[in-house]
Amino acid sequence: MPKASDYQPFQAKFKAAKLPALEVVDNHYSDRDYVVRFEIPEFNCVCPKTGLPDFATLTIEYVPAKKLVELKSLKLYITGYRNVGVFHEHVANKVMDDLVAATKPKKMRLTADFNVRGGIHTVVTSNYRWA
């Protein structure tokens, strides 16, 4: 049976994975704080241990600064995970890292609510400057 440490090299590669680019557009209301919320109910990736599919609803909330994420690029970026083997915790944090790098928001929260697998329901929340 593989140990958790056996997956470390794979996960290091995943962190640097090349996914479709996230594009941004100018925020014409950057003088105002407002919350943008996306729900992505069809996110999927695969378990790096079994190769079986994992499904989740991703909820992204952010207060934009000068840039907004362009939605078609977000869709293509998210579908880039379809055949990627990755742990739930790493998905939430990688998506967060990439969105923060692209948009440089005032604050952001990402919740990855995974479907039950093996009798375990996993919800991972990653925060960037969110109290």
At 30 the pLDDT is 97
Residue spans of the domains in the chain: they are 24-128
Residue 20 confidence (pLDDT): 94
With beta carbons less than 8 A apart as the criterion, state whether 115 and 36 touch.
no
Q: Which residue has the tokens 């992204």?
A: 60
Enzyme catalytic residues: 47, 54
Residue 77 pLDDT? 97
Kindly give the parts of the chain with pLDDT less than 50: none
The predicted structure's pLDDT at residue 103: 98
Give the pLDDT score at 9. 54
What is the predicted pLDDT for the residue at 18? Answer: 78
* pTM for this model (two decimals): 0.88
**CATH number of 24-128, picked from 3.60.21.70, 3.30.1130.10, 3.40.50.300, 3.90.1150.10:** 3.30.1130.10
Question: What is the chain's mean pLDDT, rounded?
Answer: 90
21, 51, 78, 117 from 71: Cα distances, Å: 12, 29, 10, 29
